[in-house]
Structure 1
Amino acid sequence: MKDISFRVSMISEDSNSEKIQFTIKDSGIGIDDEFKDKIFNNFTQGNISSMKKYMGTGLGLSISKQFANLMNGEISFESSFGKGSTFIFTCEFKKTNDKKQVMKRKNIESDKLNQHNDRQDKVILYVEDNLISQEVMENIIRSNGYKYISAYNGNEAINILKNNKVDLILMDIQMPELNGFETTQAIRVEELEGKHIPIIAITAYAMREDKEKCIKAKMDDYISKPFEIENLLNIIEFNLRT
């Protein structure tokens, strides 16, 4: 079982802002030296074979780097292959004493709380064989008020659907055992007489014909990696409403 620890600390502060440091450490497989200089690229795979046990970091770390840059921070890591990784990122938060800004922030927080309450009964299943991507997606999904379940491959996803209520599926394409297309076809056969579950393809493929292939495979929507979180959430909201 992989152990994960999370620590938050303030590293600097002045009258206008404060800088916060986040440290995440895990005891996973770690990162091979030959991939360390590419780890924050938009899409990197450590092993491109279809039967690989672990994927690269095509989704999570690119998004994390964007987050850090947008918040005047930075991200770094230490890792030993086979021994785990430690990721450190900083973010700068502005202070404000303006009453209008404080009220505006409170109203925004209230709206978000109401939105989260509306979403809390919605369950999203993420089918992806990259463990880091699963962790990043879990943070995105849970922080926006949804319930979250993950599956490592297509067979695991099908078993989960037999025993759990799921409202929407985020489906990777390249996976061992059953790929995203095969998994979608199996799900559609099982639900012929039941509730239709929206399936959104999440893939590194970005060609027009790839999107058409996803729709032809009876997927409901499509988003390519790396994606903007707001765009992902909009697609989820749209498909949950239809």
Structure 2
Amino acid sequence: MIDDILDFSKIEAGKLEIDSAPLQLVELIDNLCSTLRPLASARGVILEQEIATDIPHWVSSDAMRLRQILFNLIGNAIKFSGGRSECPGRVAVCARLAAGDPLRVLISVADNGIGIAPEHLGQLFRPFSQAESSTTRRFGGSGLGLAICQRLVDLLGGEISVASTPDSGTVFTLMLPLAIASAPAPSGDNRLTAAQPLSRPDALANRRILVAEDDEVNRKVIQQQLALLGYRFALASHGAEALAMWRQGDYDLILSDLHMPEMDGYQLAASIRQAEAGQQRIPILALTANALRGEATRALEAGMDEYLTKPIRLAALQAALARWLPPEAALVDSAALTALVGEDHEMIREILGDYLDALRSLAPTLHEAFEHNDIDAIDALAHRLKSSSRAVGALRLGELCAALEQAIKNGDSAALARGIAEFAPLHTATAARIEQLLKEGHLA
């Protein structure tokens, strides 16, 4: 629900951008149906797909937003079709080319569910609305999904329509313009794989994920999911191999099964935490099919950061990875001070100089306070640096100081230690960047 509200807010504010790039539409629909089929099966729903053979292999559109639209429509169809004793639920996803020119594709999602009364069809795409008040109580939801879908379709230059008969089913139809595209150039790195991403390529290009998974089917699933999300990754078949690869490679996150031969996920996490010895901590996420009582607690105690269960939906995996691998912010936003004090370059130069002096004096004081376990001093220094860093546009340092404050508030000594360890290199890099801006005169 929070993700829906954030997406809707971005759309309404005009801040959501469409990123058109080559994508394999047939594979996108096929993979999405494969991802949702276990959910459909669990609800007693048959999920079918029918894709016309004349759809071009490569087309240009925004894969992430297209998947978001279809994920919502197919998910809704499954939700409103399941649980009916009189007949089995059935959802059909069909794609075909529309007649005429320019090139357009028609994608329909049909179900045999509860249907929608004619008088309620007009409010389906309104934010925070559902067909009836009882719908939220029975099925949940934010009432934003279809409103977001319609706005995304508008941004893609398409149309969305709905037809429904109460107690018989509903059909949503997308009509989207497409342009035939060429396949992207293949990567020359066979070990680390990069496929056409669903997220912004620039934000993920340098992020590398190490996957530890022994089951061949699960390996193929997670490999496809990470490729669709645009992450580069390497695969290990058990914990011992993953540990060796982590020691040799430069990875940003580890995604590990818990139950593997030779070395399981618990031992892998514990070994890595011991080897890190207070250095920068790599996020380790557990991904397991055994959602047993106490297992999540055991995984966290072993040093893992989050516990995920298989099969995991693509959107849920994307959200989890985004939590631990957020897009890197710029070290310094050179326009931040201009927005605050105008284009007085002398004033900006003076403020940046004062900030540099404060940064150089406060950094050693912060480390000294940590060595003496002076929590109050750390809190005061982090708060002061957070405010001044944000004011001058030192974004990443400001966020780190905010994280230090939060760690103190939560009484999380491990998070505090990690933040202090990250502070020194980030403070050095930030100071160097500001010195460069002052030298080059790029102050606006």
Same fold (TM over 0.5): yes
Paired residue for 1:205, among 267, 282, 290? 290
Higher helix share: 2
Matched, 1:137 2:225: no
How far is the alpha carbon of 1:215 from its aligned partner? Answer: 1.0
SS in 2 for 1:169: strand
How far is the alpha carbon of 1:152 from its aligned partner? Answer: 0.6
Q: Which amino acid is 1:135 matched to?
A: K
Matched, 1:187 2:159: no
Which position in structure 2 is the counterpart of 1:72? 49
Task: Give the TM-score normalised by the residue count of structure 1.
Answer: 0.58
Matched, 1:159 2:244: yes
Q: Which has the higher contact order (CA 8 A, sep 6+)?
A: 1
Deviations 1:156-193 (A, max 9, x none): 11111122111011110110011110111011111114
Q: 1:129 to 1:117 in 2, by over 3 A?
A: same
How far is the alpha carbon of 1:139 from its aligned partner? Answer: 1.3
How far is the alpha carbon of 1:228 from its aligned partner? Answer: 1.5
| Contact residue 116 and residue 144 of structure 1 kept, 8 A | no
Which position in structure 1 is the counterpart of 2:301? 216
Q: Distance in 1 between matches of 2:154 and 2:262?
A: 55
How far is the alpha carbon of 1:217 from its aligned partner? Answer: 1.1
Which position in structure 2 is the counterpart of 1:63? 35
Q: Distance in 2 between matches of 1:226 and 1:208?
A: 18
| Contact residue 128 and residue 150 of structure 1 kept, 8 A | yes
Q: Distance in 2 between matches of 1:92 and 1:67?
A: 19
Q: 1:132 to 1:205 in 2, by over 3 A?
A: closer
Deviations 1:188-222 (A, max 9, x none): 11111432110010112224521111111110001
How far is the alpha carbon of 1:117 from its aligned partner? Answer: 2.0
| Contact residue 50 and residue 95 of structure 2 kept, 8 A | no
1:18-33 superposed matches below 5 A: none
How far is the alpha carbon of 1:144 from its aligned partner? Answer: 1.1
Which position in structure 1 is the counterpart of 2:317? 232
More deviation, 199-208/210-219: 199-208
1:163-178 superposed matches below 5 A: 163-178=248-263
Q: Distance in 2 between matches of 1:191 and 1:102?
A: 46
How far is the alpha carbon of 1:237 from its aligned partner? Answer: 0.7
Q: Which amino acid is 1:93 matched to?
A: A
Q: Distance in 2 between matches of 1:130 and 1:203?
A: 11
1:33-48 superposed matches below 5 A: none
Equivalent residue pairs, number? 167
Q: Distance in 1 between matches of 2:239 and 2:27?
A: 37
Q: 1:189 to 1:93 in 2, by over 3 A?
A: same
SS in 1 for 2:201: helix
| Contact residue 184 and residue 217 of structure 1 kept, 8 A | yes
User: What percent identity do the matched residue pairs reach?
Assistant: 26
Q: Distance in 2 between matches of 1:223 and 1:210?
A: 11
How far is the alpha carbon of 1:67 from its aligned partner? Answer: 9.5
| Contact residue 71 and residue 93 of structure 1 kept, 8 A | no
Q: 1:92 to 1:208 in 2, by over 3 A?
A: same
SS in 2 for 1:214: helix
Q: 1:71 to 1:100 in 2, by over 3 A?
A: farther
How far is the alpha carbon of 1:100 from its aligned partner? Answer: 5.0
| Contact residue 117 and residue 145 of structure 1 kept, 8 A | no
Task: Give the TM-score normalised by the residue count of structure 2.
Answer: 0.33
Paired residue for 1:93, among 72, 76, 95? 95
Which position in structure 1 is the counterpart of 2:209? 124
How far is the alpha carbon of 1:142 from its aligned partner? Answer: 1.6
What is the CA RMSD across the aligned residues, in angstroms?
3.7
Q: 1:129 to 1:116 in 2, by over 3 A?
A: same
Q: Distance in 2 between matches of 1:21 and 1:230?
A: 17
Q: 1:193 to 1:216 in 2, by over 3 A?
A: closer
